[in-house]
Structure 1
Amino acid sequence: MIRRSIIGTLFAAALAMTATAEAAVVEAISSLDRPVRLVAPEGDARLFVAQRAGLVRVFDQQGVQLDTYLDLTGQTTTEGERGLLGLAFAPDYATSGRCYVCYTDLAGDLNVARFTVSAGDPDQADAASQEVILTVAQPGTEHNGGHIEFGPDGMLYVSLGDGEYGNDPGNRAQDMQQLLGKMLRLDVSGATGYAIPADNPYVGSAPLDEIWSTGLRNPWGFSFDRLTGDLYITDVGEDQYEEINIQPAGSDGGENWGWRLMEGPNCHVPSSGCEGLGLDEPAYAYTHSGGSLWRCAIAGGYVYRGSNLPSLQGRFFFSDYCSRQIWSLDWTESGGVGTVIDHSAEMSPPLGYQTVASLGQDGFGELYVLDYDGGSAFRIIGATSPVPDAANTARLAQNAPNPFNPRTDIAYAVDRSDLPTRLEVFDAAGRLVRTLVDEVLVAGEYVASWNGTDAAGRPVPSGVYLYRLRNGDVDLSRKMLLLE
C-alpha cells in the first residue's frame, strides 16, 4: 500500500473556492534583482532579502535599504537554476550572530556555509567568517533545492533536489548512497562544522546519516509551522502535478515522498506498481492544467502566524511560479486538508506579478510575496489595514555628534498628532538597549539625547548601535557609533 498514514490526502485539478476580501498586498520593497528569499531573525524588524546572483540586502520596514548584509556574487554561479538559494538565521542569532546560506559555487557544487555578524556593524555579515560546512556535488544545473530552515528542535534542515532536469535519470532521490533528492537534518550548534543528530532516522543503518527524508524532486521551499512545528515541503513536479508534503511535528523522520516512483498521487517511473512500496503520498497536489492559466512550479510557503490577519491564522500559503496564483489551505494531523482558498484576486497588486519565486516571512510572522522577475516584495496585509500614508512623512536625522562619547542628539520629526511614537536604541545583535521616546506626540520637530547607557543606567560597550523611529506606519532606522 501507499502510505496514506495519519496525513490524509486530497487532490484537486482545480482550486475553485475563492476568498472574500480579507486581505490585500502593498509593495514593501522595490528595485530588487531576482529575489528568492525574504527572512528575518525572530523578533527582528529588519527584512533580509537574498537575491539569486549572490547578494543579501537588508531593509527596514519602509523598504529603505540599510546595507548590503552579504555579497557572494564573486563566489556564485547562476547557470541554469543555480545561485544563492537559501538564507537562515540561527535561533539564537541575537547572541550568536550566526547565519547560514546555501549557494552554488563557481564549480557548480552546492555549499551550505556559516557566517557571523560583523562585530562593528549589525547590518553586515563578516565576510571573512565564512565556513563551508557542507558541499554537495551537482550532476546538472537544475533541481538544486537549496532551501534551509531551522526547525523547532534547533536543527538545520537542508533540502536537496535530484540534481537533473527530467525524470531523475540516475534515480538519485531513491538512492540512499546519495544526498540528492533528500531532506537533511544537521546539528550546527558546535563551534565548527556540523554533527549528526543521534535521533536521525538512518543513523547506523545507512551510509549517509544526514538524511531525514527521501524521495524529493526539487523541494525549492519548505517551512515549519511556528506554532505546531509541523513541516510543510513544497516539491516541484515533473509535468503533471505540484505537491505539498506535510510531516507532523511528532514524526521521527524517514518518510519517502515517492519521487521518481510517484509524481503527485500517481505512479510515475515506472507507470505502475508503486502502490505496495510503502511510499508517503503528498497531503495535497494540484495539476498543471488551470484553465486559461498554466501552472508549472509550486512556490511556498508558510503557515500564517502573524497578527495582521487573525481570520487566516493557521493557514498554509503557497503560490505557483507561472500562474502566479496565491492559495492557502488548512491542515490537521487528524483530519488532513480542509478548505483550499484561492486568494489571487485579493492578494495580487494592480498590475499583477510577473513570476512568483517564493513567499517570505518576517521576524513577526507576517508574510510577503516575492515577484522574481518584477523585482519587488509585496507585504500581505488585512483588507482594512491602513496602507502606508504618503502624508505621514516622519523623518529621522543622523545623530550628532557621530561618532560620540558620552552623549549624542537624535533629531526627528512627526507630521501627525494622533499616532504613537517610539524611538529606541538597539545593539549590534538586535537587542533593545534603551527606549528614548514612547508616547503620542504633537506634530513637530524633536530632539532626543542618549548618553550611552541602558534602561538601568549602566554604561554600554563601545560599538555600532541602531536607533529606530516608529510613528504609525512609518518605521525608520539609522546607525551610530559609540566610542570608548
Structure 2
Amino acid sequence: MPRYIVKWLNQSHVIAALAVLLTIPFFANVAHADSSAAAAVGNALVAAQSVTCQPTSTPRPQPTLPKGFTEQVLYSGCLTQPTAISFNSDRTRVFVAEKGGRVWNCDLASPNCTLFADLSSEVCNQGDRGLLGLAVDPQNDANVYALYSAPRATGTCSGNFLTGGQLSLLTASGETKILPPAGATSQTWCFFYQSHSIGGLVFGSDNKTLYVSAGDGASFDQVDYGQLDNACGDGTNLPQGAFRSQGVSPYSDGVILRITDPGTGTQSIAVVASGLRNPFRFVRLPGLTDELYVGNVGWNAWEAIDHVSVAGQNFGWPCYEGPGPQPDYQSTNYCGSVGGVTAPFFAYAHQSYVTTDDRKGRTCGARPIGGGPDKNGSVISAIGFTDGTSTTYPAPYNEALYFGDLLRQCIWTMQPPDNTPQPFEKGLQGGPVDLKVGQNGDLFYVDFVTSTVRRIIHK
C-alpha cells in the first residue's frame, strides 16, 4: 500500500477486519462533520449543489488486467471517502455514497454530480462506522435506500461508543426512517466497538424485497463472548459479544435480513443467514434467483465467500471460521450448541496465496511491511457479478463473480458453481470497497483509498 497509509497501519488490526483501514487517522472524518452548508438538519433535504469531477482518465501505470481490458477513472477530485454505488434503472446515472453521509447523483455522460441527500448530521462516521450501504429502487429511480451507523445517544462517535444501524428511504422530499422507524423505542442492531457495524443493501429478484447485512458488533482486538462489556444491555447471561451472530440476543448482529415490502404497512423481516462475522459486502446471483454470495471479512486467519442458497443457513461464526473450527472461540466452551454449519463457498488464508499465479512472483499487494503472501494484510472488501449484458466482455468475464481485497490491492474472478478463482486485476492504486455491474454491462468499483469511482472496459 502507499507509504503514507502504511505508516498508520497496525498489522494485528489490519488482518482482523476492514474496520481497521477505516480507522486510519489520515482518513478519518470528524464525527458528524457538516460537509455542506446546504444540509437541512434532520431530514436530509438539500439545496441545489453540484460538483464537477476531473474528466474521465486512464491511470498510468495501468493495473495488470487481461488482454483487451482497460481501467478508467470516472470520478476523481470531487468525492470524499466514497463507500458504495448504485445505478438507476437504465444505468445512465450512478448514485454514490460517501462515508460521512452525503449521497451524490452522477451523470455517466459527463463529470457532473448533484447532491441528492446529506445525512451528515445523522451519521456516526468513525472507524468502521458511516454511510456504507446504498441501493436505488429498481422500480423507481426517485427512491434511494441508505444504510448507515447512527448514534444511540447524543454525543460524539469517538472510540467505543454505543451506536445502532439505520435503514432509510431517501427521496427529493427528505429521509424516511424505515428500520428502525422514526420514534422506535428499540433498535434492530447494536454496536459498541468501532468495527463490524452495518454493511450493504441488495434488492431481491422481485425488485421489491431488500436484503440488509450487518456485522457481529464484537471487538476485533480479542475474543469477545460478552465478558468485555454489557453496553448493548441485552442481558448479563453469557455468551453475548460475537455470539450475537448466533441469535443469542434481540439484536440482528452478524446476520443478513430479508425485508419484504420495506417501509409499508405490510413490512416483514426475516433472518436468511446467520453466523457471519462481518458481511460487509454481498451480491445476488443475477437472474430469477435470490441466491446470495457474501464477502465475509475474517479475523486473524481466513477470508471467506459464503453462498446463501436457502433461507436459514448458519455459517458458524464465532465457533467456525474459514474451513474449520475457530480455536480461540472454541476454547470458551460456548460452541457446543452451534451445529449444522454451512462451509464457505471459497476461503483463502491470510498466510496463503489466493491463486497459483499469485505465487509465481506476481503477488498481490504493495511493498510488504511484514512479509508473507498477504503482505500488508487481507480483507475481502468487495464482491459483485457481471450479468451477461455486455457486448464486449469475453465469455469468461461476462457472467462471472468478482471479489476484491483492498489490502492485497487485487480483484479476482470465478464462475460459480466453480469456486476456483483466477486473477483479474492486480496492482490497483488503492482498493475496492464496492463492485457493481453498470452501464453496458461493465464492471465498476469504488476505490476508498483514492476517493474515486472506476470503470473497467473491454475493446
Normalised TM-score (structure 1): 0.64
Q: 1:292 to 1:133 in 2, by over 3 A?
A: closer
CA distance in 2, matches of 1:190, 1:106: 21
1:342 to 1:295, Cα distance in 2 relative to 1, 3 A: farther
| Structure 2 CA distance for partners of 1:247 and 1:281, relative to 1, 3 Å | same
Task: Give SS of 2:347's match.
Answer: strand
Give the 5 Å matches for 1:361-380. Answer: 361-362=437-438, 365-380=441-456
Structure-2 change in CA distance of 1:75 and 1:299 (3 Å): same
The correspondence for 1:162, drawn from 216, 231, 239, is 216
User: Could you say if the C-alpha distance between residues 264 and 274 of structure 1 is closer, same or farther in structure 2, counting changes exceeding 3 Å?
Assistant: farther
2:387 corresponds to 1:325: no
Task: Answer whether contact 1:183 1:211 (CA < 8 A) is retained.
Answer: yes
Question: Does the alignment pair 1:24 with 2:70?
Answer: yes
| Deviations, residues 51-110 of structure 1 (Å, cap 9, x unaligned) | 10001112111452231011111211112210001111222114xx32211111233221
Aligned to 1:344: 425
Give the structure with the higher percent strand: 1
1:151 matched to 2:204? yes
Matches within 5 A, 1:267-286: 267-268=325-326, 269-270=329-330, 277-286=339-348
Q: Is the CA contact (8 Å cut-off) linking 2:134 and 2:145 kept in structure 1? A: yes
- What is the aligned counterpart of 2:121 among 55, 66, 74? 74
CA gap of 1:279–1:243, structure 2 versus 1, over 3 A, is: same
Would you say the 8 A contact 1:288–1:294 is kept in 2? no
Post-superposition shift, 1:258? 1.1
Contact between 2:382 and 2:434, CA under 8 Å: does it hold in 1? yes
CA gap of 1:212–1:231, structure 2 versus 1, over 3 A, is same
Structure 1 residue 297: Cα displacement: 1.1
In structure 2, the CA distance between the partners of 1:67 and 1:87, relative to structure 1 (3 Å rule), is same
The alpha carbon displacement at 1:156 in A equals: 0.8
1 CA distance for matches of 2:219 and 2:288? 34
Cα offset for 1:365? 3.9
Query: 8 Å contact 1:28–1:63 — kept in the other structure?
Result: no
Contact 1:37-1:360 within 8 A present in 2 as well: no
Distance 2:100 2:437 in 1: 21
1:83 aligns with 2:130: yes
Equivalent-residue separation in structure 1 for 2:302 and 2:68 (angstroms): 29
CA contact (8 A) 1:38 1:362 kept: no
Aligned to 1:247: 308
Match in the other structure for 1:174 = 246
Distance 1:302 1:228, change over 3 A: farther
Distance 1:86 1:20, change over 3 A: closer
5 Å-filtered alignment, 1:110-121, equals: 110-116=165-171, 118=172
Aligned AA (2:84): R
CA contact under 8 A between 1:219 and 1:235: conserved in structure 2?
yes
Distance 1:327 1:297, change over 3 A: same
SS at match of 1:74: coil
Could you say which residue in structure 1 is the equivalent of 2:46? none
CA separation of 1:292 and 1:239: change in aligned 2, threshold 3 A: closer
Q: In structure 2, do the counterparts of structure 1 residues 77 and 276 end up closer, same or farther at CA, with 3 Å as the change threshold?
A: closer
Q: How does 1:336-415 map to 2 (within 5 A)?
A: 336-337=418-419, 339-345=420-426, 348=427, 352-362=428-438, 365-382=441-458, 385=459
Whether the 8 Å CA contact 1:29–1:63 is kept in 2: the answer is no
Partner of 1:297: 379
User: Could you say what the CA RMSD is over the residues aligned between the two structures, in angstroms?
Assistant: 2.4
Deviation of the 1:294 alpha carbon: 3.3
What per-residue deviation string (whole Å, max 9, x for no partner) do you get for residues 238-263 of structure 1?
A: 01111001123xx2x00001110111
**Correspondence for 1:222:** 282
What amino acid is the match of 1:175? G
Aligned to 1:199: none
Q: Deviations over 1:367-393 (max 9, x none)?
A: 2122112111110111xx2xxxxxxxx
Residues 42, 363 of structure 1: 8 Å contact kept: no
Moved more, 42-51 or 226-235: 226-235
> Residue 66 of structure 2 contacts residue 425 of structure 2 at CA under 8 Å; is this kept in 1?
no
Could you give the per-residue CA deviations for residues 428-462 of structure 1, whole angstroms, max 9, x where no partner exists? xxxxxxxxxxxxxxxxxxxxxxxxxxxxxxxxxxx
Give the SS at the match of 1:210: strand
> Hey, what does 2:356 align to over in structure 1?
none
Relative to 1, partners in 2 of residues 1:362 and 1:20: Cα closer, same or farther, differing over 3 Å? closer
Separation in 2 of the partners of 1:92 and 1:101? Answer: 16
C-alpha displacement of 1:168: 4.5
Structure-2 separation of matches of 1:258 and 1:364: 38
Q: CA deviation at 1:292?
A: 6.2
SS in 1 for 2:330: coil
| SS at 2:314 equivalent | coil
TM-superposed CA distance for 1:313, in Å, is: 1.9
- Answer with 1 or 2: which has the greater Rg: 1
Is the aligned partner of 1:99 residue 2:159?
no
Question: Deviation of residue 227 (structure 1)?
Answer: 2.5
SS in structure 1 at match of 2:245: helix
CA deviation string 1:103-159 (max 9, x = no partner):
11233221011122x2xxxxxxx22x4234324232322101321111113311110
Q: Does 1:185 align with 2:258?
A: yes
Alpha-carbon distance, 1:210 to partner: 2.6
Whether contact under 8 Å (2:178, 2:263) holds in the other structure is: no
The answer to whether the aligner puts 1:56 opposite 2:103 as a matched pair is yes
Cα pair distance change 1:381/1:287, threshold 3 Å: same
CA distance, structure 2, for counterparts of residue 146 and residue 74 of structure 1:
20
TM-score w.r.t. length of structure 2: 0.67
CA change 1:104–1:63 in 2 (3 A) is farther
The Cα of 1:356 is off from its aligned counterpart by 2.7
Q: Which residue identity lines up with residue 267 of structure 1 in the other structure?
A: P
Paired with 1:150 and 1:175, the residues of 2 have a C-alpha distance of 24
Give distance in 2, aligned partners of 1:295 and 1:38.
Answer: 25
Question: Identical aligned pairs, as a percentage?
Answer: 26
Alpha-carbon offset, residue 360 of structure 1? 3.2
Q: Partners in 1 of 2:139 and 2:374 — Cα distance?
A: 46
Provide the secondary structure at the position in 2 that maps to 1:130: strand
| Cα contact 2:319–2:338 (8 A) shared by 1 | no
Which protein, 1 or 2, shows the higher relative CO under an 8 Å CA cutoff with sep ≥ 6? 1
Counterpart residue identity of residue 132, structure 2: L
